[in-house]
Amino acid sequence: MKQYISNIYSALATVFIGMKITFKHLFVPAVTIQYPDVRVTLPGRVRNRLYVNMDDCIGCDQCARACPVDCISIETVKSVPGEDLGKTSNGKKKALWVTKFDIDIAKCCYCQLCVFPCPTECIYMTDVYEFSEFERENLVYSYITLTKDEVLEKKANFEKFEAEKAAQKAAPKPPAPEKPAPPQA
């Protein structure tokens, strides 16, 4: 009987304690962040969408080799002599036309391994995190600054140059005595 009454008492008491707690929580400010209207400030070193600053890219392919998921694909064309590609911001001379620099951001695992090998620090992670698309193809980002025609032109230029060089090498054998030239320095 004593147990019975104490059961009733403890049931009621615990219910009221629980109700008190939930009632208090009615007035606790919500932790919800109203996302599209309000955004959390991201930490400084956050890793989100990759960005390539093509002005600084020398087409060295190191980032593509570092990528563990092979989401970066780079094609380059050698420049022909006489063309000036300019310099990167840290003073390196560019020697390659970058004809393809695609990052499939859908594959990217945000590991940042491509960022470290870059000699010119032109590939880095930004804090942009809203880039959903309806088509998966739209997630393949192309960063090249050259237009399609320019790419073709550069390729044609290079092929022409190669062909010329090959023709030079192939045709006139006679003027080749200077072959055993000592390696300079």
Partner 1 sequence: MIFDYISSFLGAIPAAVIAGLVPMVFIIPFALFAVYWERKVSAHMQDRLGPMRVGYHGFLQTIADILKLIQKEDIVASAADKPLFNIAPVLTFTGSYAAFAAIPFSSAYIGANIDLGVLYIIGVSGLVVAGLLMAGWASNNKYSLLGAMRSAAQIVSYEIPTVIVILTLFSMVGTLNLYELSELQSSNMFNWMIFGGTVTGWKKIVLIPLMFAAFLIIYLTTLAEVNRTPFDIPEAESELVSGYHTEYSGMKFAMFFLAEYANMFAVSAIVTSLFLGGYHSPFGYLGNTIGITWLVPIEQFFWFAFKGIALVTVQMWLRWTLPRLRVDQLMVVCWKYLIPLSFLIFLIVSLLMVL
**What are the residues binding partner 1 (CB under 8 A)?**
7-8, 12, 15, 18-19, 21-23, 25-26, 28-32, 34
Q: Residue 115 in contact with residue 123, Cβ under 8 Å?
A: yes
Least Å from the CB of residue 139 to partner 1: 27
Least Å distance, CB 28 to partner 1, is: 5
Write the CB contacts of 99 (distance below 8 Å, at least 6 apart in sequence). 75, 76, 77, 144, 146, 151, 154, 155
Least gap, CB of 134 to partner 1 (angstroms): 21
The CB density around residue 61, as the number of other CB atoms within 10 Å, is 16
Closer residue to partner 1 in complex, CB, 31/171: 31
161: Cβ contacts below 8 Å, ≥ 6 apart? 80, 81
**Shorter beta-carbon distance to partner 1: residue 35 or 134:** 35
Nearer to partner 1, 31 or 185 (CB): 31
The total number of residues written for the chain in this structure:
185
Check: CB of residue 76 under 8 Å from CB of residue 98: yes
CB closer to partner 1, 31 vs 176: 31
Least distance between partner 1 and beta carbon 132 (Å): 18
